[in-house]
Amino acid sequence: MAVRPSDQRNPTLIDADSVKDIFGKPPGWMLYWGNTLVFLVIGLLLALAMLIRYPDEVTTPIQLTTSKPPVFSVAPIDETITAIAVADGQEVEVGAILVQLRSTAQLDAMNQLDSLLTTLDGLSSPADILRINLPERLAIGDWRMEYATLLNYATELRYWLNRSSSGRQLSRIDQQLQQAQATGAALDQQQKTLQEELAIAENNYQQYQQLQERGAASPLEVDDAQAAYLRSRRLLEQQDQLTLRNQMDAEQLELEKLRLTESLSDQVTEQWLGLRRQVRTLRQGLANWQETYLIRAELAGQVVLPYPLTVGQYVEAGTPLVGIVVESENNQVIAEGQIAAASLGKITLGASAHIQLSAYPYREFGQLPATVSHIAPAPTPVYGATAEQGTVLYRITLELPQGLRTTYDRDITFRQLLDGQAFILSEDRSFLGRLLDRFRDLRERRL
């Protein structure tokens, strides 16, 4: 029996129902929008990476100080402290003695020697030594032999002056010069008094003249006032003549003294020159002793002791002993520190920072706002192990715009050299830029 074509099955249509189920059902939204969503999420992430910006933070140790920092005087030698003349916070003037180190010489004796040398420096002629009394002994330690030589010169000079007639005449002339100086001082004082009396008499005379013009004074009263004025003027003129005569007498005595000095014997001249030379030697020795054993204030200000000092304490050369802080309206509080050269590229002038002080925990007291005001153009010299490691440090200064008021509105009490940490913020950079820098760095390393 022949098979009808309608009864024959097409192999391609065997599973028509299942195929219809597949192609007849529309695809879900994920198939249509999946790629779009992926691109949108990536775009959103990129946008966020570009918008999110934050700075790098460079940390460095700092110390609080002032724009005019303390000037510390250091021990010039290894020695023991024998006297402390100042206290912490005391006001001192330039040249004031701060600390004295142990020496074979006594301070009082060295001060007496200083006064004697000043007097001897003022001598103008050999005969002036006759009116100077030099003490036989001074407790000046290692300089006793030099002082003994000075005494010998003075003794020999007196001996030759007393043997010389010119020397005796010079002695008398010196006495006359002293009297002339005393007379001149008295005349000057009298002259000032007469000038005041003359001014009063002149003013009185002028007032009587004005009163006479208004008819309030008689001619007799005007004449009396005029006579008093003329009398005062005459007395002042006489005083001027006396003063001039005294000055001329003193000049004559000086000329006579000069003539007699030139006629002195060679022995007197030799001792005189030796005395002057010995004075210079002792003056230099005194200056060296003061620089070595006396610590003086180099400027006026307030004393700052970096640590307690006690009498009998041994100090090494170069040890800071006493600091001086200059009190000034322009002496502002600043923070100073050092920063490694590797971090310089991230810091610019005016960069913001915040400071956390060790003595004031920031969680309780807050932080001090600061800005970078100065970066040293040259590195700070370093020595020792740090230098061997090749570390290069630059000094950095930070200003405090709000002074010592923290972010918690609390005032910090200033103390020199308070230490802490400064967190310096660099320029804001996007997260995307930082990520691209990483990729760029990886690519360069592979190449």
From residue 350, give the alpha-carbon distance in Å to each of 177, 200, 371, 381.
Answer: 71, 68, 5, 25
Same-domain pairing of 351 and 233: no
Q: Looking at the 3D structure of the chain, how many domains does it have?
A: 3
In a domain, 309, yes or no: no
The amino acid at residue 415 is: R
3-state secondary structure labels for all residues of 70-108: CEEEECCCCEEEEEECCCCCCEECCCCEEEEECCCECHH
Which spans in 344-405 are helix H?
Answer: 362-365, 385-388
Residue 241 shares a structural domain with residue 367: no
Q: What size, in residues, is the chain?
A: 447
Rounded CA-CA distance 74/320 in Å is 4
CATH number at residue 219: 1.10.287
Instruction: Give the residue among 114, 155, 438 at the shortest CA–CA distance from 282.
Output: 114
With a CB cutoff of 8 Å and minimum separation 6, the contacts of 225 are: 201, 204, 205, 207, 208
Residues 174 and 261 reside in one and the same domain: yes
| Residue 68 phi, psi dihedral angles, 5° rounding | -110, 90
Q: Say yes or no: 192 and 238 in one domain.
A: yes
Tokens encoding 71: 């000037």
Residue 366 and residue 435 in one domain: yes
Same domain assignment for residues 342 and 281 = no
- Give alpha helix (H) positions in 26-75: 29-51
For residues 338 and 288, membership in a common domain is answered with no
Q: What is the largest CA-CA distance in the chain?
A: 188
CA separation, residue 227 to residues 46, 211, 230, 250 (Å) = 110, 17, 5, 35
What single DSSP character describes residue 136? S
pLDDT at position 386, please?
46
Residue numbers of the domain that contains 337: 329-446
Q: Are residues 229 and 133 in the same domain?
A: yes
Cβ neighbors of 278 (< 8 A, separation 6 or more) are 146, 149, 150, 153
Q: For residue 35, is it within any domain?
A: yes
Task: Report in angstroms the alpha-carbon separations of 150 from 129, 282, 288.
Answer: 12, 9, 18
User: 20 and 150 share a domain?
Assistant: no
Looking at the structure, do residues 154 and 276 belong to the same domain, yes or no?
yes
| Residue 210 falls inside a structural domain | yes
Last residue of a domain, one of 272, 292, 312: 292
Q: Tokens 């510390």 belong to which residue?
A: 72
- Which CATH number belongs to the domain containing residue 365 in this structure? 2.40.30.170
Q: Is 346 within a domain?
A: yes
Q: Which amino acid does the sequence have at 208?
A: Y
pTM reported for the whole predicted model: 0.55
Q: What was the pLDDT predicted at 287?
A: 93
Residue 265 lies in a domain: yes
The pLDDT value recorded for residue 393 is: 87
pLDDT for position 70: 80
Asked whether residue 190 falls in the same domain as residue 130, the answer is yes
Q: What is the pLDDT of residue 101?
A: 94
Helix (H) / strand (E) element for 445: namely helix 431-446
CA-wise closest residue to 428 among 92, 54, 84:
54
The Cα 338–Cα 330 span in angstroms is 24
Helix (H) or strand (E) segment spanning residue 342: none
User: Given this model, what pLDDT does residue 10 score?
Assistant: 52
The residues pairing with 446 across neighbouring beta strands, listed in sequence order, are: none
Q: Are 100 and 85 in contact (CB under 8 A)?
A: yes
The answer to whether residue 175 sits within a structural domain is yes
Q: Output phi, psi for 104, to 5 deg.
A: -75, -15
d(CA 128, CA 150): 15
Q: How far is Cα 140 from Cα 112, in angstroms, rounded to an integer?
A: 10
Q: What is the C-alpha separation between 444 and 412, in angstroms, rounded?
A: 50
- Whether residue 381 sits in one domain with residue 233: no
- Domain membership of residue 83 (yes or no) is no
Spell out, as residue ranges, where the chain has pLDDT lower than 70: 1-35, 54, 164-171, 173, 259-266, 328-329, 381-390, 428, 434, 446-447
CB burial string 239-273: b at 16+ within 10 A, e below? beeebeebeebbeebeebbeebbeebeeebeebbe
Q: Classify residue 88: in a domain, yes or no.
A: no
